[in-house]
Chains A and B, each alone.
Chain A
Amino acid sequence: MKQTISFKLNGKPVTVQVSGEESVLTVIRTYLDQTGTKFGCGLGECGSCTVIIDKEPVRSCMITAEDLSGKEVITIEGLSPGGTLHPLQKAFIAHDALQCGFCTPGMIMNAYGLLLKSPKVSREEIIRGMDANLCRCGSYNRIVDAIESAAKEMNKN
């Protein structure tokens, strides 16, 4: 049985037909064509599907569509409205904190959630907060550098 759910995606209200059991990842990628968020493992083990739901970074492959109703979702596509890059995106470029780029949207969204909660985060807290996100190309150290410098930049404002 299909049901209709409404929520906010990157600031815009959306209404979508769902069965309710499918993952938020499928809703975002397949139903709404926002493909920046990636499928990596389907078990919440790699973090490449990370999005922000009501200010919390979550694994979109582990949450069902029916839990989306009335929520506010931010994906990688929502970080640069009007084409202006978010300080995290700028810092990821400046530190070249990526290689194949497949884990990158999840990394950035997880970092975004981390900085929402603790804007003055220490290097150790970044490492702890990011530890469940996997990068096979091995860009970890650069990602930590990027998040550190983005946090500094964001705290200036």
Chain B
Amino acid sequence: MRTDKEMDPFFGNTDKPVTYDRRKFLKNLGGGIVVVFCIGDLSMPDIFGQNIPLEDLNFNAYLRVKENGRVDCYTGKIEMGQGVITSLAMVLAEELGVSVYSVDMIMGDTELCPYDAGTWGSLTTRFADPPIRAAAAEAREVLLGLAADRFGIPKDQLEVKEGIIYVKNDPTKKVSYAELTKGQKIVKSLEQKPEIKKAKDFKLIGKPVISLDAEAKVTGKAKYTGDIKLPGMVYASIARPQVHGSKKLKVDASGLKDFDGARLIEKGDLVAVVHTDPEIADKAAKSIKITWEAPAARANNETIFKYLEDNLKEGKVFEEGGNLKTGRDTSKTVKEASYHDGYKAHASIETHGATCYFEGDKLTMWASSQTPFGTREAVSKALEMPLEKVHLKQIFLGGGFGGKIYNDQAVEAATIAKLCGNPVQLVWSRNEEFLYDKFRPAAVVKTAAGVDENGKLTLWEFDIYCAGTRGTNLFYDVPNNRTRMFDQKGIHPFGTGAWRAPGNNTTTFARESHIDVMAHAAGIDPLTFRLNNLKNENMAATLKLAAKTFGWERAKKSGHGYGIALGEDAGTMVAIIAEVQVDKNTGKVNPVRIVCAQDMGQVVNPHGATLQTEGGITMGLGYALYEEIEFEGGDVKTSNFNNYEIARFSKTPPIECVFIDKMDAKPEGGGEPAIICVGGAIANAVFDACGARVYRMPVSPERILEALKKV
């Protein structure tokens, strides 16, 4: 079956299936110069749970300069809107000396691309970018060497422009990369770090480049998992229980007789229908009557916070210093509070999907996965197939935000394809997407803080329930402090997981709200209070840049308030200042303006970084103001966008992003950091506007009106 033509509109060059064998891989790649990046201290570090099998490490970045002069860049990362299809092409083009428009990104194909543990954690620019730069720099040196031989002069008398090597001072002598690579096959394993460019020599890095995939996306040509259509394909629809953790007792599929061509697929608790028409498959699946045994509910969206505190008694110290008793004794004022945050859905506009087919014992699959290699492994385990018999192909993702790290739909689709014998497409409904999302967990943060008579923080106690410790290393200078974490697997009534900068959204909301509480308790302006108490100079500089850009001293309109939040995520310092207007009668919040300053080291594509920052802030308005999953035990009541409000056009204020200029530094994370400060900045601005201190996100009208009663 030839199916790869499906990818032609955008991914032109992924149609040469090869097995998972390096020698064979290199053989099958054909002509052109290949650079393989190598093991050692140059390889991707094992951090944030990137548990990379050792044998895969010596193969973690490569590129190919092709005989037609174009360049393939292979990476295990995927593109889900975060823009690395552009920024990775940029760093390659910069080092190799070619046009960015001559780079073809081959992403997330498990047979063509180097192993990657997953696209998450704002890691791509930090850790996929250096090996690609190194490989490109090495390829440039190889090509210069070939040109030097051809002209019989030393390499240092040559220069590269847009894929053509010129002899300096003699523009008539030139040779293109395309000509040099004809008939060549050079495989380089890097042992040492090649010389990569310094910031002052950058021609492309630091310049704004419009997303390279924009045209494919505005014309509808960009392909997503649900757009793949295979000969003989059937659409699958799964009969679901309403409650998580339900066990199947009885199936009555007698209703299927009303649906011509509908086939029942059953394995364990999986009950599905396949049909050549997706809507008939859906209706037929709904006709199946299943008796489920559902576990009893232990908590709902109101009682969950007490439930978590009651059931998590064992805390682990994450960071501590000084002595808490001394802290209390030397404080003039101590304030305690508990901050709450409900479950949040990822709510990508594209739901989870997988399209796949068997050819003999080999499975080929497109899946909306942030972890193609992990998905390959999960499918191979579930179907008891050798790893090399599962092939995940390159495809665009319609958003991810952490939700597509988890790919139950891939195992479901593969299982159904195996049982029914046809190519299968499974695209989750919006209801399934909410039911089986791995939510950002509900969380509690209990804080106690103290200040002395000079407005210096003297005490900081921070007990985190279920939000993790990411970004919670104290950047405020507090001599007596302790941060603890309370968590336990299986505590939640349904799946939870990483959600764009995970729990850092929750803990930043709690910390920055409480810092504001302390500033007001000390009678000091929140900006001054923070600057007086920060120990991290980079954070202080970031805050100053935000305050200057925002105009912190500007007079406020009546009913308006300003709020600050600071945070650190993925190596990046973030300072957000929000202006909101609050209607005291209705509790409605109208975001008016948001300024975000970031210290993210070297900014590879300032335009792309701005997009990510604006996007994160816009998305963050949703969790800060509207988003919360409603549930009773494992019964997730939230089912669609009509009962899960996210940010909209009318709710999005002007957003201004500024970056600290650090072109000589290494790049830090960009996809996630900005979002963490939105909750805190909005909550503090609401307090400034109307005096309502809301301790639970979302900061909803009801909670504001309730808080106003206490003012």
Contacts and interface: CB of A to CB of B under 8 A. Distances in A.
Interface string B590-619: 000000000000000001000100111111
Given A26-B278, A108-B218, A134 B615 contact: no
A37 B80 contact: no
A138 B619 contact: yes
Given A30-B278, A39-B427, A96-B611, A85 B218 contact: yes
Contacts of B616: 138
Interface string A64-98: 00000000000111011000010001001110101
Contacts of A3: none
B403 to A, nearest CB: 10
Given A43-B430, A101-B217, A127 B349 contact: no
A139 interface: yes
Contacts of A94: 210
Interface residues of A, number: 56
Contacts of B399: 99-100, 102, 136-137
Contact of B211 (A23, A45, A96, A103): A96
A23 B430 contact: no
A146 B251 CA distance: 52
A130 interface: yes
* A contacts with B: majority SS: loop
B429 A75 contact: no
Interface in B157-212: 210-211
A41 B430 contact: yes
B349 A48 contact: yes
Contacts, number: 173
Given A40-B349, A135-B349, A138-B619, A100 B220 contact: no
Contact of B617 (A38, A92, A130, A138): A138
A41 B430 CA distance: 5
Interface residues on B, range: 35 or more
Given A43-B642, A141-B655, 7 more contacts: A34-B220, A35-B227, A36-B219, A40-B430, A76-B218, A80-B219, A134-B646
B640 A45 contact: yes
Nearest to A48: B349
B651 to A, nearest CB: 8
A92 B444 CA distance: 41
Nearest to A89: B218
Given A100-B80, A103-B349, A141 B614 contact: yes
B140 to A, nearest CB: 29
Contact of A92 (B218, B398, B427, B654): B218
Q: Which of B83, B279, B427, B654 has the most CB of A within 10 A?
A: B279
A98 B348 CA distance: 14
12 contacts: A34-B220, A40-B350, A42-B430, A76-B220, A79-B219, A85-B219, A92-B214, A96-B611, A100-B348, A101-B81, A105-B218, A139-B611
A22 interface: yes
User: Which 10 A-B residue pairs are closest in the complex by CB-CB distance?
Assistant: A36-B220, A138-B618, A102-B398, A100-B81, A101-B217, A99-B81, A138-B615, A76-B220, A35-B227, A45-B641
A33 B220 CA distance: 12
Nearest to A34: B220
A98 B217 contact: yes
B29 interface: no
Interface in A107-138: 108, 127-128, 130-131, 133-138
A52 interface: no
B462 interface: no
Contact of A142 (B277, B614, B617): B614
Contacts of A139: 611, 614-615, 618
Given A40-B430, A96-B211, A100-B398, A138 B220 contact: no
Contacts of B235: 30
A144 B649 contact: yes
Contacts of A151: none
Given A26-B278, A100-B396, A134-B349, A140 B618 contact: yes
Contacts of B646: 134, 136
Interface string B214-232: 1111111111101101000
Contacts of A22: 277, 279
A137 B220 contact: no
Interface string B418-456: 000000000101100000000000000000000000000
A36 B10 CA distance: 13
Interface string B279-312: 1100000000000000000000000000000000
Nearest to B607: A96
A104 interface: yes
A52 to B, nearest CB: 14
A101 B429 CA distance: 19
A99 B615 contact: yes
B705 interface: no
Contacts of B351: 39-40
B709 interface: no
B220 A37 contact: yes
B397 interface: yes
B350 A41 contact: no
A143 interface: yes
A108 to B, nearest CB: 6
A19 B429 CA distance: 21
Nearest to A129: B649
